[in-house]
Amino acid sequence: MYTSKWNIGIDLYQDRIQLVAAKRRRQYWHLCECWQQQLPFELTDSSSHEQYKILLNILLQWRQKLPKKCSVSFALPAVRTIKQQISLPSEINLPQPELGWYLQSQAEKRFAMHAQELVIDYRVIKQQVYFNGARQSDITFWQNLLTESGFNLLAIDVAPIALRYVARNAGLPDECWVVHYRQGEWLWSGPISQPANYNHLQDTDIPTISHLLPFLDQENTSPASPIYLITDHQHTHRTAEAAHLWELRQAFQQSNIKLPQLLGDFVIAAGLALRHGDI
């Protein structure tokens, strides 16, 4: 009997790890699993052997419940990633691999950490270079974990960007702001035309979406792009006129599982599961 390949998204947030499994039938996505495990430590802390053993045990148990045909995308906690943007001089018109060497040298000048400590990815769009960086030790830690637990690692992504993947499947317009609030953190991804406009903030002194608006860089666009908010925490949208509300269920055509009470908290893991190439 033919079994559809499952796409797995794993999100790491504060003291919990979340997994969403989805599969595609024709043009429709089906929500297959939503799992969450509380951890006895913060994922923002430096990784240790004891943490590795605890996480490995969780991942092994999850892997046993999943079909053989599946691949996983995951995102490091937003606080453990860094980003930079530079303008490419107009006289620079290098082919690969020379362009890669040049950008590597530019990244080394701009990131505070030593180059050997970082894994740096970049995208070049209209003479603008967008860098994303993470510690090599963090990447290696999770690569080893996923390999040992039997997962096929497809991609490592940035948590706010995962919002754009799930938003597209939910039918939200490309030219909009996608904002997510979960306990202790705001995340957002800007319109498709502003690919570098994504970020995260701790919720200190930002209790509602109205308080967040000054942090969204609209790049002086007129008219301003609409804002779509997804959250299960009602206190964040007391001023409903500031944003359109939407739900994670809009991204899936079918779900035969018992949904968690705070389904909106799984939006990053869901976006990673729905990931099929860069946007």
Cis geometry, peptide bond prior to residue 223 (ω within 30 degrees of 0): yes
CA distances, 234 to each of 117, 181, 194 (Å): 40, 10, 28
Distance CA 96, CA 84 (A): 21
The answer to whether the CB of 163 falls within 8 A of the CB of 189 is yes
Q: What is the pLDDT at residue 65?
A: 97
Q: What is the pLDDT at residue 2?
A: 41
Q: What is the pLDDT at residue 220?
A: 54
- CATH class label, 6-78+137-274: alpha beta
The answer to whether the CB of 66 falls within 8 A of the CB of 22 is no
- Give me 144's structure tokens: 């080893």
- Tens of pLDDT along 30-80? 999 999 999 999 886 667 899 999 999 999 999 999 999 999 999 988 778
The answer to whether the CB of 253 falls within 8 A of the CB of 30 is yes
> Under CATH, what is the fold of the domain 80-136?
Dna Ligase; domain 1 (3.30.1490)
In 3D, which of 95, 97, 120, 100 has the Cα closest to residue 110? 120
Q: What is the pLDDT at residue 1?
A: 38
- Give me 138's structure tokens: 């963090």
- Give me 39's structure tokens: 């951890």
Q: Phi-psi region for residue 150, left (φ > 0), alpha (ψ -120 to 50) or beta? A: left
- Other C-beta atoms closer than 10 Å to the C-beta of 47 total 18
- pLDDT tens string, the chain, 279 residues long: the values are 345 789 999 999 889 999 999 999 888 899 999 999 999 998 866 678 999 999 999 999 999 999 999 999 999 887 788 888 888 888 888 888 888 888 888 888 887 666 678 888 888 887 888 888 888 999 999 999 999 999 999 999 989 999 999 999 999 999 999 999 998 899 999 998 887 788 899 887 788 888 888 888 765 554 589 999 999 887 666 655 678 999 999 999 888 788 998 999 999 999 999 997 555
- Give me 239's structure tokens: 């001023």
- Other C-beta atoms closer than 10 Å to the C-beta of 239 total 12
Task: Report the sign of the C-alpha dihedral through residues 129, 132, 133, 139, in that order.
Answer: negative
Distance CA 112, CA 24 (A): 42
Helix (H, G, I), strand (E, B) or coil at 34: strand
Domain-wise residue ranges, the chain: 6-78+137-274, 80-136
